[in-house]
């Protein structure tokens, strides 16, 4: 949008409207609000301090600004969140009525969700055909990233109530632990991409499931906030691996999952709130505040789950493999509704993203469009042993277990008394006993699912 606006030759009035109300429950949470504030400050700097921030109802403020400054054209990038889609539509209507030209662009996705469809015109519901047929074979290849404009000529207009800098945004009482190297903004995004290309990409396929290693990109918050476009990431990777390897590349496929989540949200606006498979409306969820609290605080007594939940609290991030394990534990072993989990992640993730978060929770719960079958219940002990084989990840985030030998770090309750004593650990005092028995809770969840009287959906996600 910026590129096209600059190319039009008209002076630019760069505007960011922070709308606290329209997003409802999906306004930025604590961690993503922290990120947003810093990201906007960097964006303001790169626009020579000429990014105008307004706070309030965007549906009223944007037409007001257009009227006050005789704006001739509006340029914006489309979003997929249902509330933004509705708001954008209303703003467009209001401006077109006043003869303001409106130009909308797809800046955030490689494949335009409004365009990709099955040959019969209906939307895809399953990832692999969506990605392979809909995107790679029939979709337009992702365009090359556009260069930053050489110069941006800013209009001298100063909207009333606008502030430069981040002073008008809500304050958040969250910050990552000292020493965490998040750098919101475009420069931080570019250097993280370079770091990943140099040291992560080559190992990504083999090590992406290992939370104890540093092989994933951690680009998710940068991608979410548009500090790095997926086009930049896509083409930088294709340049290294060659176009012939594009189809089966693991990292590009993960970018494809991001596309698919956005696509589902755009096509199924109920995704954040409602089970896409109706039969889950009858599932006997338990609503147990104490258990939800223990899960949130990383005090379930299951080390890999607790490590993930504490990583989330302290850094605003959780490794994908551990997100799946922690989510499965909440939904299946504890039988709490996936919406509780989605809401907590929303509040605490720096990369909180309505498409990815909602689609992933529904995927884990088995209630989504292209879901893992419900009977796939992750065993956190087996998963821990497989993906954190030396316990490095657990020890980093659950230091009270640091003295346990590798063999017992994922299941301290099975360790002989002598081992616990040697590690200086008293279960129930220093670290909780498991909140539920893993085998028994698994059986209970499966019985509840069978009570719905329908088989699970197809298993096509290779995670
Ligand atoms: P990498 O492995 O380096 O992948 C590169 C990029 O591909 C990511 O930045 C992301 O944009 C995309 N990607 C990777 N894995 C997935 C995936 N499984 N689904 C969709 N896109 C993916 N991701 C979010 O960005 N925001 C969320 O709110 C979010 N909530 C999640 C909730 C649950 C329960 C689960 C299981 C997953 C969730 N994810 C979410 C997906 C995934 O965990 C993160 O995108 C990934 O861990 C981000 O780390 P990374 O950038 O190092 O990923």
Is pLDDT larger for residue 452 or for residue 73?
A: 73
Which protein residue has the closest C-alpha to ligand 1 atom 34?
A: 361
* pLDDT tens readout for residues 405-456: 999 999 999 999 999 999 999 999 999 999 999 999 999 999 999 988 755 4
Mutational test site, ligand 1, from 180, 320, 325, 329, max ligand atoms within 8 Å of CB: 320
Residue matched to tokens 């994933």: 216
Query: DSSP string covering 9-55, please?
Result: TS-B-EEEEE-TTTTGGGS--HHHHHHHHHHHHHHHHHTTT-EEEEE
* pLDDT tens readout for residues 13-36: 999 999 889 999 999 999 999 999
pLDDT at residue 463 greater than cutoff 90: no
* pLDDT tens readout for residues 327-373: 999 999 999 999 999 999 999 999 999 999 999 999 999 999 877 78
In 3D, which of 308, 53, 263 has the Cα closest to residue 165? 53
Asked if residue 233 lies in contact with residue 108, where contact means CB atoms within 8 angstroms, the answer is no
Q: What is the pLDDT of residue 456?
A: 46
Which protein residue has the closest C-alpha to ligand 1 atom 47?
A: 320
d(CA 82, CA 84): 5
Residue-averaged pLDDT of the chain = 93
Q: What is the pLDDT of residue 168?
A: 63
d(CA 111, CA 58): 27
SS3 of the chain: helix, strand, coil, percent, to 5: 50, 5, 45
Q: What is the pLDDT of residue 32?
A: 96
Q: What is the pLDDT of residue 166?
A: 56
Q: Over range 279-298, report the average pLDDT.
A: 96
Q: What is the pLDDT of residue 441?
A: 97
Q: What is the pLDDT of residue 459?
A: 39
Asked if residue 263 lies in contact with residue 116, where contact means CB atoms within 8 angstroms, the answer is yes
Q: Quick one: what percent of the chain has pLDDT higher than 90?
A: 88
Residue 159 token pair: 């909207």
Residue 351 token pair: 């990369």
Residue 406 token pair: 């590798």
d(CA 209, CA 319): 8
* pLDDT tens readout for residues 213-234: 999 999 999 999 999 999 999 9
Residue 83 token pair: 């509330």
**Phi, psi (rounded to 5 degrees) for 427:** -70, 140
- Distance (Å) from CA 324 to ligand 1 centroid: 10
* pLDDT tens readout for residues 168-227: 677 778 899 876 899 999 999 999 999 999 999 999 999 999 999 999 999 999 999 999
State the DSSP code for 101.
Answer: E
- Distance (Å) from CA 351 to ligand 1 centroid: 8
pLDDT at residue 151 greater than cutoff 60: yes
Active site residues: 254, 257, 285, 320, 338, 361
Strand, coil or helix: what is 421? helix
pLDDT at residue 462 greater than cutoff 70: no
- Ligand 1 atom with the smallest distance to the CA of 230 is 11
In 3D, which of 333, 373, 372, 357 has the Cα closest to residue 273? 357
**Phi, psi (rounded to 5 degrees) for 17:** -110, 120
d(CA 203, CA 20): 41
Q: What is the pLDDT of residue 246?
A: 94
Asked if residue 322 lies in contact with residue 211, where contact means CB atoms within 8 angstroms, the answer is yes
Ligand 1 site residues (CB inside 6 A) read 208, 216-220, 223-224, 254-255, 257-258, 261, 320, 323-324, 327, 345, 349, 351-353, 356-357, 360-361, 364
* pLDDT tens readout for residues 92-149: 999 999 999 999 999 999 999 999 999 999 999 999 999 999 999 998 899 999 998 9
Q: What is the pLDDT of residue 371?
A: 73
d(CA 396, CA 213): 12
pTM, two decimal places: 0.96
In 3D, which of 142, 4, 27, 34 has the Cα closest to residue 84? 27
């Amino acid at each position: 949008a910026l590129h096209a606006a600059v190319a039009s030759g008209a002076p630019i009035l760069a505007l960011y409207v922070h709308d606290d109300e329209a997003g409802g429950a999906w306004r930025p949470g604590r961690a993503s609000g922290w990120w947003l504030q810093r990201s906007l400050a960097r964006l303001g700097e790169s626009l020579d301090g000429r990014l105008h921030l307004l706070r309030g109802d965007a549906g009223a403020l944007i037409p007001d600004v257009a009227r006050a400054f005789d704006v001739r054209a509006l340029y914006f990038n489309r979003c997929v969140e249902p509330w933004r889609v509705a708001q954008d539509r209303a703003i467009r209507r209001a401006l077109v009525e006043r003869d303001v030209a409106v130009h909308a662009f797809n800046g955030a996705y490689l494949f335009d969700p409004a365009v990709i469809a099955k040959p019969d015109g209906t939307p895809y519901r399953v990832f692999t055909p969506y990605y392979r047929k809909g995107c790679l074979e029939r979709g337009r290849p992702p365009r090359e990233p556009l260069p930053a404009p050489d110069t941006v000529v800013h209009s001298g207009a100063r909207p009333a109530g606008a502030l430069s800098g981040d002073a008008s945004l809500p304050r958040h009482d969250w910050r990552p632990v000292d020493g965490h190297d998040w750098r919101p903004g475009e420069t931080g995004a570019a250097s993280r991409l370079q770091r990943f290309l140099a040291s992560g990409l080559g190992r990504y396929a083999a090590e992406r499931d290992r939370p104890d290693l540093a092989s994933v990109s951690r680009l998710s918050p940068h991608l979410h906030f548009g500090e790095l476009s997926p086009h930049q990431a896509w083409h930088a990777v294709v340049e290294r691996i060659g176009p012939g390897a594009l189809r089966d590349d693991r990292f590009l496929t993960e970018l494809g999952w991001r596309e698919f989540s956005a696509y589902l949200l755009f096509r199924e606006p109920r995704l954040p709130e409602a089970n896409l498979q109706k039969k889950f409306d009858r599932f006997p969820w338990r609503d147990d505040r104490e258990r939800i609290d223990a899960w949130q605080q990383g005090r379930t007594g299951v080390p890999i789950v607790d490590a993930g939940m504490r990583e989330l609290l302290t850094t605003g991030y959780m490794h994908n493999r551990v997100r799946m394990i922690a989510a499965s534990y909440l939904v299946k072993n504890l039988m709490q509704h996936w919406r509780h989990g989605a809401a907590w992640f929303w509040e605490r993730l720096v990369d909180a993203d309505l498409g990815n978060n909602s689609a992933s929770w529904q995927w884990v719960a088995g209630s989504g469009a292209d879901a893992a079958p419900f009977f796939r219940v992750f065993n956190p002990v087996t998963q821990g042993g497989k993906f954190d084989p030396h316990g490095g990840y657990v020890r980093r985030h659950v230091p009270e277990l640091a003295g346990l030998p590798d063999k017992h770090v994922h299941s301290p309750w099975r360790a002989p008394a002598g081992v616990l004593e040697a590690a200086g650990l008293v279960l129930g005092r220093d670290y909780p006993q498991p909140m539920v028995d893993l085998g028994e809770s698994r059986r209970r969840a499966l019985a509840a699912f069978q009570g719905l009287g329908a088989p699970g959906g197809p298993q096509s996600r290779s995670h």
